[in-house]
Amino acid sequence: MRLGARQLELLKVIGTTSALVVPCPISRRLCEIGLLQAEADGSFARITPAGLRALADAAEAGRIALFRLPSKQIQSAK
């Protein structure tokens, strides 16, 4: 399955930090395909093992960089 750029970015944020508190159309679609799992009341969503695998596959394919500082932070660190 090929994920879009926004879907990958959302998976990256959830997979590298915490859970998503406010559902959105992208997160609902990721829940439908099993990459996120929402609470029964829909209050938040968390990444599933399948979502972590999809995120890792995208990182290995070079479609997304998991741990990279934004260019502004890199410049200010010098």
**What is the average pLDDT across 3-18?**
81
pLDDT band at 16 (very low <50, low <70, confident <90, very high): confident
- Which residue type does 64 have? I
More confident residue, 33 or 13: 33
- Cα–Cα distance, 58 to 8 (Å, whole number): 8
More confident residue, 74 or 36: 36
- Cα–Cα distance, 51 to 35 (Å, whole number): 4
pLDDT band at 23 (very low <50, low <70, confident <90, very high): confident
What are the structural domain ranges in the chain? 5-60
Q: Which DSSP helix (H) or strand (E) runs through 77?
A: helix 71-77
- Asked if residues 44 and 21 have their Cβ atoms less than 8 Å apart, the reply is yes
Neighbouring-strand partners of residue 11: none
